[in-house]
Amino acid sequence: MGKYLLEVILLLSFLGWTKAEGQEVVVYTSEDRLFSEPVLKEFEKRGGIKVRAIYDTEEAKSTGIVNRLIAEKDNPRADVFWSGDPVRPLLLEKRGMLEPYKSPHAIDIPEIYKDEGGGWTGFSARTRVLLYNKNLIKEGEVTQSIFDLLNPRWKGQVAMANPLFGTTSIHVASLFCVLGEERAREFLKGLKANGVRVVSSNGEVKRLVSRGEAAVGLMDTDDARMALLEGRPVGIVYPDQGGIGTLVMPNMVCIIKGGPNPEEARQLVDFLLSEEVETRLARAECAQMPLRPWTEVTRVPGLDRLRPMLVDYREVAKKLEEIYPYLKEWTGF
Amino acid sequence: MLWGSFNVGGSPSVENYRDVFTRRNASFFLNSLLLASLSTLLATLIGIFLGFLLGKTDIPLKWALRPLLLLPFIIPSYIYGLAWANLLGKSGFLNNMLSNLPFVTAEGISNFIYSPFGASMVLGLALFPIVMVVAEGSFIGVNASLEEAGLLFGGRGRVMREVLFPMALRGIISGMVVVFVLAFSEFGVPFLLGVKVFTTKIFTEFSVFYNEKTATALCLPLVLFTVLIMTLERIFLGARPLEGLARGAGGRTYYYLLGKGRIPYTVACVVILCLSVFLPLVSLVMDSWSLGAYVRAFSLAGTGMVNTLVFGVIGASLLTLLGLILGYFLEKYRLPPTRELGFSMLLLFAVPATVIGVGLIKLWNRPGGLSQWIYGTFAIILIGYVVRFSPLAVRFMGDAYRQVPRSISEAAEVSGAGWWRLMVRIFLPLLIPRVVMTWVLSFIFCAGELGTTILVCPPGNETLPITLFTVMANSPAEVVSATAIILLVVVLLPLIVLLVLSSRVGRWQY
């Protein structure tokens, strides 16, 4: 047994080490770690409150933190959920897991991005974009609309992520809201007929377009930005600026009901909703778009210069649940 | 605890099970079956070949080959799949090379890698180290005097066919079953390569519908199927000779000298090494490379490195100890209750990591008291490791006990030796190679665990696989590959130390 003595001692010391001291706040976030971690570190530095975070993987790689939040429902361990998309908080809302809080910092955030009851509040957004490979498509021939993807010219050259998961599912549900059931189904059917490649994640779409294994693909602004930063031969198009607009997806933050540190949770939410964090996220590699229209952005067009798709996120979440059976059928899952 | 995590959310009603057996699910199931069978076949062929060379011959460079050949299994399978998709995709380096050959098109190769066959190749290559390690251990364990006796009557080929392989078969099949179940329950690689398998179904229920009840119900076919496989294995192995391992008596292993064959066999090993390790690794690293990426990856990996090492070591030791004790009671006493326990434990192995994770949360995340404390600390990670991988450890150790001739332990008992003495003086010395092997495999499993750990690990702390997979979202490819390389090194280092040490102390060698 002597063999294990050392390990037992190590274990005990580690257990002691992980015990929390002083003020802290527990945050679960599905915003990419690359971008959320620096923001949380900054908060920690500022207020002297220790941030204990759990980051999520992309949807397609583990079943992640929303499952954990739901499983922990009866004895919540998280104080704050920082969602990278506008739909997941609504899943928690539906299960009665959110503690309403109207942050004073959110006053200048446009109403459409806030829950009137204070359950969740949006900030910094991404939009859906088209990424194309410049070696395969000349500048002049670039598609300006997602509906062009049905053109036989792009047969077998379009990639998109599985519409059952992540932002792609939100995008498709929004199309159902905006276009109506029939036209949306027709669009999806057309994509399939045109040999669209359905892959595991937006990151996979980025990889395929970057390497020229697909000519054009649908993804989020941050994926597309990273492809540019990696120096790949790619270009970005904000689709349908003359038509239905492109989907805007803000981050959302909410407080978990019954979390262990409610006061610190409010402080963190205040910080996340501040103009400063929006500016930070706009300047970071992901170049997220501030919801406050006057905040300066340089790397991407500001939201005030884009035509957004006009949707109500709660309706999108509801629609998403409605169309799941159809999407399952469509993807063959 | 085991049962608790098994019965996620109490007993699911029939409602959840109604949709389990549909036609579409059947086609998914067949895909899973195809994938698992082909990858097991590939893993077995390579594994036995290498296991034999490493364990029973005088092939040179063993000290280097042994740890390096473990690498495909250490690389997280998702990353391994990604590397192969890079290599064989339309613009891949290997694709470009191969498509110059006659009858091969770039399109064809790309289609191959994104098919059940491509996914089987990737999984077969990723999992052969399990068969290799187990086969090597079993070969070494065969009593040298039996082989020598055989050699008096027949050639080497005949001894291998009639003595060595039948003796080692139990161990090899054990490894094959593990590979089969792993490939059957694998999610990452088939999902990446667009192959629709049964586990995708379970994943979708969790990840899209947050429907834990249906997801748990969907595990039923997985579990049933594993029962079937293991029952078959039992029936098949029931009639096999048990007493193979008596090398401890003389401490000897018979070696087949390769003579002139040394060079071609070494070349074959190196080719396998290149195909399964260097090519994918190089594609990972070369895809994008910078020193800055490693600096960044290091700062991200920070505590994750220490945690992975410490908890991997503790987890592997716990598992080995558990295997040593439970394996003994399961195989030596074979009392009905322990036997049932052993059987049901093995079923756990077929349950997906997420289901176990959610089960553990339900069980341990309770207000106040001990459970609150456990759930908030690293103890829960260790519990996760034990629940997920104890079936493996117990099975590997149990198999080893079976190979110890009964006469030895009976002789000791007759002479008045108690349990402790029997263990320390008889079994441990005989089983040391197996213990080392079980530890090595357990360590790799623990250090790479993602699915359960991410659900239960205390906020603010993490292990390297979690770092890797959370960093993967949107980080530059170079940082991702740098983090993957760091994970490899962290897992490989203790193994190299152990393997070098064990080959110094000859009789530890598995």
pLDDT tens readout for residues A169-182: 999 999 999 999 99
The average pLDDT across A212-236 equals 92
Cβ neighbours of B449 in A, within 8 Å: none
**Do residues B396 and B323 make contact, with C-beta atoms less than 8 angstroms apart?**
yes
Interface check for B91 against chain A (CB to CB < 8 A): the answer is yes
Residues of B in contact with A328 (CB under 8 A): 204
pLDDT reported for residue B314: 95
3-state SS class at A132? strand
Instruction: Check pLDDT > 50 for residue A101.
Output: yes
Count CB atoms within 10 A of the CB of residue A135. 12
Q: Which of residues 62-81 of B touch A (CB under 8 A)?
A: 78
- What's residue A245's pLDDT? 94
Contact A247, A125 (CB under 8 A): no
Query: Mean of the pLDDT values across residues A178-207?
Result: 94
- Compute chain B's Rg from CA coordinates: 23
CA distance B289 to B300: 17
Average pLDDT of span B58-70: 87
Sorting pLDDT into bands at 50, 70 and 90, what band is B249?
A: very low
CB contact under 8 Å between B450 and A204, yes or no, is no
Residue type, position B257, single letter: L
What's the pLDDT at B464? 92
pLDDT band, residue A185 (cuts 50/70/90): very high
Q: Residue A111 is encoded by which pair of tokens?
A: 């109403």
Give the pLDDT score at A175: 97
More confident residue, B372 or A69: A69
With a pLDDT cut of 70, the percent of chain B lying above it is 87
Residue B208 to residue A164, Cβ atoms within 8 A: yes
Shortest Cα distance, chain A CAs vs residue B507, angstroms: 18
The dihedral built from the CA positions of residue A125, A127, A131 and A137, taken in this order, carries a sign that is negative
Q: What would the mean pLDDT of B93-113 be, rounded to a whole number?
A: 86
Q: Which of B442, B427, B484, B494 is nearest to B133 (CA)?
A: B442
Contact A171, A244 (CB under 8 A): no
Query: Which CA distances in Å does B57 have to A216, B255, B265, B482, B510?
Result: 54, 5, 10, 36, 14
What pLDDT does B251 receive?
A: 57
Higher pLDDT, B165 or A218: A218
φ, ψ of residue A129 in degrees (nearest 5) = -140, 170
Give residues with Cβ within 8 angstroms of B175, minimum separation 6.
Answer: B44, B47, B130, B131, B133, B134, B135
Of B91, B321, B377, the CB nearest to A213: B91
CB distance B389 to B452 below 8 Å: no
Q: Which of residues 84-113 of A touch B (CB under 8 A)?
A: 91
What count of Cα atoms within 13 Å lies in the side-chain half-sphere of residue B490?
27
Specify the amino acid at residue A6: L
Q: In the structure encoding, which two tokens stand for residue B498, read together?
A: 């152990």
pLDDT digits (tens, 9 = 90+) for B167-215: 888 788 888 988 998 898 888 889 888 888 888 778 777 777 777 777 7
* pLDDT number for residue B333: 63
The contacts of residue B294 (CB under 8 Å, 6+ apart) are B482, B485, B486
CA-to-CA separations, B117 to B47, B120, B122, B123, B195, in angstroms, rounded: 19, 5, 9, 10, 9
Restricting to A residues 19-78, those with a Cβ less than 8 Å away from any Cβ of B are 19, 26-28, 32-35, 50-68, 70-72, 74-75, 77-78
Measured in angstroms, the CA of B232 and the nearest CA of chain A are apart by 31
How many Å apart are CA B99 and CA B110, to the nearest integer? Answer: 10
Residue B362 has pLDDT above 50, yes or no: yes
> What is the C-alpha to C-alpha distance for residues A261 and A51, in angstroms, rounded to an integer?
11
Render pLDDT for B296-317 as a digit per residue (tens, 0 to 9).
Answer: 888 888 888 999 999 999 999 9
Average pLDDT across chain A, whole number: 89
Mean pLDDT of B490-496: 89
Q: Which of A 169-198 lie inside 8 A of B, CB atoms?
A: 169, 198
A7 DSSP assignment:
H
Write down the pLDDT at residue B184: 87
| Mean pLDDT (whole number) for B269-283 | 90
The predicted complex's ipTM stands at 0.80
Domains B25-287 and B289-510 share a fold: yes
Written as six digits, the tokens of A253 are 């933050």
- The whole-angstrom distance between A140's CA and the closest CA on chain B is 24
User: Which residues on neighbouring strands pair with residue A237, listed in sequence order?
Assistant: A130
* For residues B337-353, average pLDDT: 67
Least confident of A9-23, B135-149, B455-469: A9-23
Residue A102 has pLDDT above 80, yes or no: yes
Give the whole-angstrom CA distance, residue A171 versus residue A188: 12
Count CB neighbours of B411 within 10 A. Answer: 12
What is the arithmetic mean of pLDDT over A276-281?
93
Is B454 close to A64, i.e. CB distance below 8 A?
Answer: yes
Bridge partner residues of A52 (DSSP): A26
**Model confidence at B248: pLDDT above 60:** no
Are the beta carbons of B491 and B447 closer than 8 angstroms? Answer: yes
pLDDT over threshold 50, residue B270: yes
Mean per-residue pLDDT for B96-101? 85
State whether A4 and B321 contact (CB < 8 Å).
yes
- A286-329 confidence digits (pLDDT tens): 889 999 888 777 777 788 888 999 899 999 999 998 998 899 88
Most confident of A60-74, A247-261, B138-152, B292-306: A247-261
pLDDT at B367 (0 to 100): 81
Residue B146's contacts (CB-CB under 8 Å, 6 or more residues apart) are B163, B167
Question: Quick one: pLDDT at residue A279?
Answer: 92
Task: Give mean pLDDT, residues B446-456.
Answer: 89
Q: Where are the domains of chain B?
A: 25-287, 289-510
Identify which of A14, A32, A59 has the shortest CB distance to residue B474: A32
So what's the pLDDT on residue A302? Answer: 81
Between CA B212 and CA A68 the distance in angstroms is 11
Of the given ranges (B13-17, B179-183, B352-356), which has the lowest mean pLDDT? B13-17
pLDDT at B291 over 60: yes
Please report, to the nearest 10 degrees, the dihedral formed by the alpha carbons of residues A306, A312, A314, A317 taken in order.
Answer: -60
Structure confidence at residue A119 (pLDDT): 94
What is the reported pLDDT for B223? 79
- Chain B residues 320-379 with CB within 8 Å of chain A: 321, 354, 357-358, 361-362, 365-367, 372, 375-379
C-alpha span between B388 and A91 (Å, rounded): 29
Q: What is the mean pLDDT of residues B109-124?
A: 93
Cβ distance of B378 and A324 shorter than 8 Å = no
If you write DSSP's letter for every residue of A281-330 in order, what string do you get? HHHSTT-PBPSSTTS--SSS--GGGS-B----HHHHHHHHHHHHHHHHHH
Q: What is the pLDDT of residue B118?
A: 95
CB contact under 8 A, B110 and A213: yes
Question: pLDDT tens digit string along B129-142?
Answer: 999 998 988 888 77
CATH homologous superfamily of B25-287 equals MetI-like (1.10.3720.10)
Assess if CATH 3.40.50.720 describes domain B289-510.
Answer: no
Stretch 407-446 of chain B: residues touching chain A, C-beta under 8 Å: none
pLDDT tens per residue across span B429-443: 778 878 888 899 999
Confidence label for A1 from pLDDT (cuts 50, 70 and 90): very low
Which residues in chain B are contacts of A77 at CB distance < 8 A?
365, 375-376, 459
The C-alpha atoms of residue B7 and residue B219 are separated, in whole angstroms, by 11
pLDDT of residue A129 exceeding 90, the answer is yes
Asked if the model's pLDDT at residue A8 lies above 80, the reply is no
Predicted local confidence at residue B239, as pLDDT: 52
State the alpha helices, DSSP H only, in B142-274: 144-153, 156-159, 165-184, 188-192, 198-207, 212-238, 247-250, 262-273
Of B168, B171, B189, B138, nearest to B36 by C-alpha is B189
Strand A216-220 and strand A158-161: the pairing is parallel
Q: B121 or A66: which carries more pLDDT confidence?
A: B121
pLDDT at B424 exceeding the cut of 70: yes
What confidence score (pLDDT) does residue A109 get? 93
Of B180, B174, B178, the C-alpha closest to B135 is B174
- Quote the pLDDT of residue B3: 46
According to DSSP, the β-strands at A158-161 and A197-199 are parallel
Q: What is the pLDDT of residue B205?
A: 77
Average the pLDDT over B44-67 and give the result.
90
Nearest residue to A72 (alpha-carbon basis) of B203, B3, B4, B357 = B357
Residues of A in contact with B451 (CB under 8 A): 62-63
The better pLDDT of the pair B377, B35 is held by: B35
- Which of these ranges, A49-58, B190-199, B326-335, has the smallest mean pLDDT? B326-335
Question: In the numeric block, which tokens belong to residue A109?
Answer: 């955030």
When pLDDT is cut at 50, 70 and 90, the band that residue A235 belongs to is: very high
Question: What is the residue-averaged pLDDT of chain B?
Answer: 82
pLDDT value of position A291: 92
Which tokens in the block code for residue A32?
């990419």
For residues B100 and B95, give the distance between their C-alpha atoms in angstroms, rounded to a whole number: 9
Has residue B373 got a pLDDT over 50? Answer: yes
Give the pLDDT score at B14: 55
Question: Which of A104-113, B230-239, B397-406, B477-486: highest mean pLDDT?
Answer: A104-113
The pLDDT of A176-191, averaged and rounded, is: 96
Distances (CA, A) of B199 to A67, B36, B100, B112, B221: 17, 12, 37, 21, 10
